[in-house]
Amino acid sequence: MGRVFSGAVLAFLSPLAAAQNQVNMSPGVTEIGADIFELHMLIMWICVVIGVAVFAVMFYSIYAHRKSKGHQASQFHESTKVEVAWTVVPFLILIAMAVPATSTLLEVYDNDEAELDILITGYQWKWKYEYLLESGEPVAFFSNLATSQEEIYNTDKKGDNYLLEVDEPLVIPTNTKVRFLVTANDVIHSWWVPEIAVKRDAIPGFINEAWTRVPEEGIYRGQCTELCGAYHGFMPVEVHAVSRDEFDAWMAAKRGAAAAQTQLAMQTLSVDDLMDQGKAVYDSACLACHGAQGQGGIGNAIAGSAVVMGDLSNHMAVVAKGVSGTAMQAFGGQLNDVEMAAVLTYQRNAFGNNTGDVVQPGDVNGMKNG
């Protein structure tokens, strides 16, 4: 109770004292961000000036023209001159606002001549980033919320970047025009990073364009800004802007890892490897709904499940295609063959399911194509 009270007192005082209570838009780090910020401030100050003038007249009237002071009401009404003036003057002010607004909008829409294209796909409730490269191994990965359930449900202390941290951030090079192609897999999402002034709706079946050129290295955070279901508040965006060299090194490492996965998919993996990797996939993709012990929750129990312990191809179909009309989403596009094989193996052997079935990446590939 004492904490809540002091919090309440702080809430009233801190806007004056504490710096972390940001009260205005941030100009961010990009040129467009700065332009938008200037435009925002310009319009705001125009509104403030008009507001002060209008309210000054009103408050003077409230002060001076009171009946209680014996003020007699005059009975004037209508004046064409005044009425024309207060129609025309605001119109002229609006034209003055429209000029910078139009030029900034044209900048926002200038998607040409990008040096790097990244396809961003919104999923319930994570982002997928795919670097559209002209050659070599494709680089694509999912970016999930990294904040723990314990922090969200108040059993652990919340970290500094609570709800704004991901397991794998988007990495972009600085001083490079990066074009984002934004779409979604299920419902509409919206990809927003305030500091680089990019917000674009991610719409299933459509691809929207946006762009940025980040001059400074740094970590920029944002969130999904279109209601997309229960965990809409839990799909942050984290962008790391790094130097060109660092980016190239990161890209090479990513490609190496992707190539290794492709290699792996052609091999026969040991049960231990499958179980280890399967647990990792389960914990990131399944656990939130099906429980840490496979006991179920939002989703059905995995332990003792007829689907999991029954026909393998049906089991994989459920995982890959989801169950329409339920919270069970389709993971087919999110897991590669190795991950799919691992998680199937894990589900069929963990939590006392002990079927002894081992699913190899080759089996997954076979079922997909057959």
Which one, 62 or 133, has the nearer CB to other proteins? 62
Look at residue 89 and give its three-state secondary structure. Answer: helix
Look at residue 357 and give its three-state secondary structure. Answer: coil
Is-contact 244 176, C-beta < 8 A? Answer: yes
Q: How far is the CB of 316 from other proteins (least distance, A)?
A: 22
Q: Which of 177, 232, 240, 279 binds other proteins (CB under 8 A)?
A: 232
Restricted to residues 123-182, the positions that interact with other proteins (CB under 8 A) are 124, 151-154, 158, 160-164
Asked if 204 touches other proteins (CB under 8 A), the answer is: yes
The total number of residues shown for the chain amounts to 370
Instruction: Please tell me what DSSP assigns to residue 231.
Output: T
Distance CA 43, CA 250 (A): 42
First to last CA, the chain: 62
In DSSP terms, 211 is beta-bridged to: 179
Restricted to residues 60-99, the positions that interact with other proteins (CB under 8 A) are 61-62, 65-68, 71-78, 82-83, 86-87, 90-91, 94, 97-98
Q: Which of 186, 217, 246, 357 binds other proteins (CB under 8 A)?
A: 186
Asked if 104 touches other proteins (CB under 8 A), the answer is: yes
Distance CA 101, CA 30 (A): 17
Restricted to residues 29-58, the positions that interact with other proteins (CB under 8 A) are 35-36, 39-40, 43-44, 47, 50-51, 54-55, 57-58
Q: How far is the CB of 65 from other proteins (least distance, A)?
A: 5
Which one, 25 or 301, has the nearer CB to other proteins? 25
Q: How far is the CB of 36 from other proteins (least distance, A)?
A: 5
Q: How far is the CB of 286 from other proteins (least distance, A)?
A: 18
In angstroms, how far is CA 64 from the centroid of its own chain?
53
Asked if 197 touches other proteins (CB under 8 A), the answer is: yes
Contacts 24+ apart (CB under 8 A), 93-100: 93/46, 93/50, 97/42, 97/43, 97/46, 100/38, 100/39, 100/42
Restricted to residues 241-300, the positions that interact with other proteins (CB under 8 A) are none
Asked if 24 touches other proteins (CB under 8 A), the answer is: yes
- Helix or strand run (H / E) with residue 291: none
Stretch that binds other proteins, among 4-12, 166-174, 239-247, 312-320 (CB under 8 A): 4-12
Q: How far is the CB of 181 from other proteins (least distance, A)?
A: 11
Q: How many other CB atoms are there within 10 angstroms of residue 6's CB atom?
A: 10
Q: How far is the CB of 122 from other proteins (least distance, A)?
A: 12
Tell the burial category of 205 from Cβ atoms under 10 Å away from its Cβ (0-12, 13-18, 19+): exposed
Q: How far is the CB of 127 from other proteins (least distance, A)?
A: 14
Is-contact 149 271, C-beta < 8 A? Answer: no
- Helix or strand run (H / E) with residue 132: strand 126-132
Work out whether strand 177-184 and strand 116-123 pair parallel, antiparallel, or are unpaired.
parallel
Residue 273 phi/psi, 5-degree rounding, is -60, -45
Q: How far is the CB of 126 from other proteins (least distance, A)?
A: 15
Q: Which of 109, 276, 295, 310 binds other proteins (CB under 8 A)?
A: 109
Q: How far is the CB of 317 from other proteins (least distance, A)?
A: 18
Q: How far is the CB of 40 from other proteins (least distance, A)?
A: 5
Which one, 1 or 23, has the nearer CB to other proteins? 23
Stretch that binds other proteins, among 13-21, 169-177, 347-355, 360-368 (CB under 8 A): 13-21
Stretch that binds other proteins, among 231-239, 253-261, 283-291, 339-347 (CB under 8 A): 231-239
Q: What angle do CA 288, 292, 294 make, to 5 degrees?
A: 95
Q: What is the DSSP string of 152-181?
A: HTTSSPPPTTTTS-BSS-EEEETTSEEEEE
Q: Hey, what amino acid is at 185?
A: N
Which one, 325 or 370, has the nearer CB to other proteins? 325
Q: How many residues bind other proteins (CB under 8 A)?
A: 102
